Amino acid sequence: MAGHFESDEPGRWVTHDKPKDECGVFGIYGRGLDVARLTYYGLYALQHRGQESAGIAVADGDSVFLQKGMGLVPEVFNGENLDKFKGHIAIGHVRYSTTGSSLPINAQPLVFRYAGGMMGLAHNGNLTNVSELCQQLFSNGAVFQSTTDSEVIVNMIARNYQNSMEEAVMKCMIDLKGAYSLVIITENKLMAVRDPFAIRPLCIGRLGDAWVVTSESCALATIGAELVRDMEPGEIIIIDDNGLNSLQMMRPRRKAHCIFEYIYVARPDSTMDGYNINTVRRAMGRQLAREYRVDADFVIPVPDSGTAAARGYAEESGIPFEEGLMKNRYIGRTFIQPNQSMRDLAVRLKLNPIRDILAGKRVVMVDDSLVRGTTSTKLVAMLRNCGVEEVHLCLSSPPIIRSCYYGIDTSNESELIAARKQVSDIKNIIKADGLHYLSLEGLLDIFGDNRCNFCTACFSGEYPVEIPKKAGKYELES
């Protein structure tokens, strides 16, 4: 499933040349339930969306309690600290940093006191006008504890508060630009907010009489809840003892769901805005096979995110599917200094070819995407070293030529190999016998009449929300 790619920052995770994940959010309102533990299990299911830090906030009607820290969900929480949480409302967050450094102060949820009481917020996405908003708040005397755009949202909600939290959130949304899926907790209610383009996912579920909101439906299934629906673009939901109430704050001009959720980020067992992720990835593989036919002995995936597309390619082409690369599923976090020999070791730690199966064969290797090309180059070399005669690399996404400003860390454009090189040049660089990217048309055809409901900016450069002239992960730290 989703991994992290080579980093130039010492001590950062080093496993895979992929766009980095984003964040996952979870919220539950359920009297009589152990909402802290249910949130813990929900975050466990969302761990693939962020592994840097985790946090849970619980409300009991009078106050909001918080526990958060650096690391994976089971590293931050244990039976003892979960037992201390008493309440009937909870929100949780797993973080991969896309704005602000990976530091304890930037872990979420963020919990603050404001004029109306206590509030906690967890955020998935990136604001595109955070610098302007931050300057406005600074000029009015605001102070910040963290360097995340999420605290800017908290500050704006607090400053817009006059009569109710609902009104404050609605006023805040007028000024926010970019991607934001939010869960908000107060002493006595749970709220969820999805931006007007619905860029990042957010869905609603039911667990008996309890309500649940989360980034992906896999978290609902994990705690035994049922998916009710996805939140609409610009929708606010409020859950309290009166049940669930929906407000449609903004009518979008169009939906712009992140297409990369379907290619790489989301878990295959999740259903997102009407589409099961595994089914979509399999269809991508079938479309790949229709676009690029080649004589080969096996189709092999780059596990795990390339597996569904590889199966689809095998189904359509009639070429046998084989697990030619073995993934070390226990590698976890590997802190490796960023020199070349250690990077080579990192790839071998994660993936290893099965020589007895592959020697003397021609293979179609299916992966989901290519960012810098470093890992693919090493994988092709590894296959050749174990005797593979031909390696054709098929990618279930179009070439990534633009950076994402909405919450996925796709690297600077200068680091994107497809932004600088032609396909034929890339094929020569990675030393493959063939290289084929899924066409954008072929990708969108999978979604039929809904083909216009996606953000494809990383492939096309057509951004649905205006992007900042100058942006970066550390723009609030300069």
229 and 296, same domain (yes or no)? no
Q: Which amino acid is at 172?
A: C
Q: What is the number of domains present in the chain?
A: 2
Sign (positive or negative) of CA dihedral 213, 217, 218, 224: positive
Burial of 470 (0-12, 13-18, 19+ CB in 10 A): exposed
Q: What is the pLDDT of residue 2?
A: 32
Q: Which of 221, 252, 283 is the last residue of a domain?
A: 252
Residue with tokens 């780059």: 302
47 and 159, same domain (yes or no)? yes
Q: What is the pLDDT of residue 441?
A: 97
295 and 382, same domain (yes or no)? yes
Q: Which amino acid is at 337?
A: Q
Count the Cβ atoms, other than its own, within 10 Å of residue 119: 25
Indicate whether 301 belongs to any domain. yes
How far apart CA 247 and CA 252 sit, in angstroms, is 14
The dihedrals phi and psi of 23, each to the nearest 5 degrees, come to -150, 165
Binding residues for [4Fe-4S] cluster: 258, 404, 455, 458
How far apart CA 218 and CA 236 sit, in angstroms, is 22
300 and 236, same domain (yes or no)? no
169 and 101, same domain (yes or no)? yes
225 and 353, same domain (yes or no)? no
246 and 285, same domain (yes or no)? no
Binding residues for Mg(2+): 305, 367-368
Q: What is the pLDDT of residue 22?
A: 73
What DSSP letter does each residue of 422-453 carry, written as one string?
A: -HHHHHHHHT-SEEEEPPHHHHHHTTGGGTTS
Mapped onto helix, strand or coil, the DSSP state of residue 162 is coil
CATH number of the domain residue 59 falls in: 3.60.20.10
Q: What is the pLDDT of residue 274?
A: 96
Q: What is the pLDDT of residue 470?
A: 62
Q: Which of 237, 252, 267 is the last residue of a domain?
A: 252
316 and 378, same domain (yes or no)? yes
26 and 61, same domain (yes or no)? yes
Blockwise average pLDDT, block size 10, the chain, 478 residues: 34 49 91 98 95 96 96 95 96 81 86 96 95 92 88 95 95 95 98 97 98 98 98 97 92 90 96 98 98 96 94 98 89 52 72 93 96 89 95 97 87 86 96 97 97 96 86 56
Q: What is the pLDDT of residue 13?
A: 36
Residue ranges of E strands in 40-88: 53-59, 64-70
Active-site annotation holder among 23, 134, 172, 394: 23
315 and 235, same domain (yes or no)? no
Whether 23 is a known active-site residue: answer: yes
419 and 294, same domain (yes or no)? yes
Burial of 113 (0-12, 13-18, 19+ CB in 10 A): exposed
Binding residues: 258, 305, 367-368, 404, 455, 458
CATH number of the domain residue 437 falls in: 3.40.50.2020
User: What is the extent of the structural domain holding 342?
Assistant: 275-330+338-460
Sign (positive or negative) of CA dihedral 202, 204, 207, 210: positive
Burial of 315 (0-12, 13-18, 19+ CB in 10 A): middle
What lies within 8 Å, CB to CB, of 11 at 6+ separation is 335
Q: Which residue, among 202, 267, 211, 265, has the nearest Cα to 231 in the 3D structure?
A: 202
Indicate whether 266 belongs to any domain. no
Q: What is the pLDDT of residue 346?
A: 73
- For residues 44 and 222, is the Cβ–Cβ distance under 8 A? yes
